[in-house]
Homo-oligomer: A and B are copies of this chain.
Amino acid sequence: MQISINANRCEPSPMRKFHPYAVEAEKQGKKIYHLNIGQPDLPTPQAYFDAVRSFDRKTLAYAESPGMPVLIDAVRGYYHELGVDLEPNDVLITTGGSEALLMTCLSILDPYTEVIIPEPYYPNYTTFVHAAGGVIRALPTNPWEGYRYAKRERIESLITKNTRAILITNPGNPTGVVLDQAEMRMITDIAKEHNLYLICDEVYREFCYDDKFGVPTMAHFRDIDENLVIIDSASKRFSACGARVGCVVTRNKELQAALLKFCQSRLSVATIDQIGAAALYSVGQDFFRQSKEEYRRRRNTVVSRLRQIPGVVVEEPMGAFYLMASLPVDDTDKFQYWLLEHFDYQGDTVMFAPGAPFYETPGKGINEVRIAYVLKQADLERAMDVLAAGISEYQRQVMHLTPAAADEPSKSR
């Protein structure tokens, strides 16, 4: 039986392969600090659960295909606070930002058309682009430049007659890079001049740790209404990942019509989750401020502790709750297996996301990791101790970097 070419071009989750090893490590009594997934530990605002519990209709019916009016209005109200006025049709509610991305790719990409994405990037972008038959053109960045990608010449050098879109995450996952106003303007100019869609995944918009960025959104650039597609989600903003409620925001009427066809084909987004999400938009600025402060402290902890580890290269990320770092090991994938199988520090070990799957370019990211700083302060500090000890021990045992290593048998897998 044949599997489709596009499905074969997609990769299984790069984290999944570690799962059996993590289970085994836990069986052996090891405690694992999870820096590998972007699942925030902050409580979801009570407003969500209150709204869900107060649902009192007898029949749980389909919602409207473009989204429930109460949620569309809540989203519009939120954007209005950002200084962005949207018509109801400019917002289509989706099952998470994920569905917004898949529908956008299906709506604008033909087979062999190209999307420019700065690498390292969120690995699931690959599946969305490949599902539509598209091709990713990676815009290279480097750890020693802090992964900044907004360079006009570099971007323009990748544009071909097949290019349909530029896709950016701002603030960035996995890098934490945030664009400044001049960079945003420059990228919108490129999109406009070359008649490209600009897909801007802004789900981490509230998490910018330098006040000069404010709450950034491309939606302020009204001269690119035809080009701009914003991917948005309640997941990170409200620590409500399991609600699966996001949206796509665009003022391009033709694109709205194409997206709406896909919305209609899947009938609706979960009714109760939409009601809960609508209530979330009433929690107000205090919630955002507190979340941001918490993540800022966590970022500071992780960055300062990483910088104390000899050989680690890390720039302070300006947004989101991830960072990429280069570790002084030969291969972070191999290092992760070793941490689970052959290492513990006083009974503890640690998981991160190895860097290579965040890159399109083969061979890149092998020394890098993505760290999600989504744990409590004390847990993060402990995780950094474990990581430091792990690096040192791995260098000695597996890489034979210290004279002492010669006395010990290698435990390389």
Contact = CB atoms under 8 A, between A and B. Distances in A.
Interface string A99-111: 1001000111111
Contacts of A132: 4, 6
A110 to B, nearest CB: 5
Contacts of A98: 265-267
**Contact size class for A?**
35 or more
Given A3-B107, A106-B4, A272-B52, A12 B44 contact: no
Contact of A226 (B1, B13, B239, B260): B1
A53 interface: yes
Contacts of A273: 270, 272-273
Nearest to A124: B265
A221 B7 CA distance: 27
A252 B7 CA distance: 15
B110 A1 contact: no
A97 B261 CA distance: 17
Contact of A10 (B53, B102, B265, B276): B265
A62 to B, nearest CB: 5
A271 interface: yes
A226 B3 CA distance: 12
A93 interface: no
Given A65-B13, A124-B265, A272-B242, A3 B44 contact: no
A406 B52 CA distance: 59
A223 interface: no
A16 to B, nearest CB: 7
A10 B336 CA distance: 45
A154 to B, nearest CB: 24
A60 B41 CA distance: 9
B107 A133 contact: no
A269 B254 contact: no
Nearest to A261: B10
Given A106-B7, A133-B111, A270-B273, A59 B239 contact: yes
Contacts of A387: none
A181 B352 CA distance: 53
A300 interface: no
Nearest to A126: B265
A49 B5 CA distance: 42
A264 B13 contact: yes
16 contacts: A1-B195, A2-B110, A3-B255, A7-B108, A10-B261, A11-B261, A13-B65, A13-B261, A39-B61, A52-B53, A52-B55, A111-B133, A127-B262, A242-B270, A244-B269, A244-B270
Given A10-B262, A98-B267, 20 more contacts: A1-B195, A1-B227, A3-B108, A4-B107, A7-B258, A12-B260, A13-B261, A37-B62, A52-B52, A52-B55, A59-B239, A96-B267, A98-B265, A102-B266, A124-B264, A127-B265, A242-B270, A243-B270, A244-B267, A272-B272
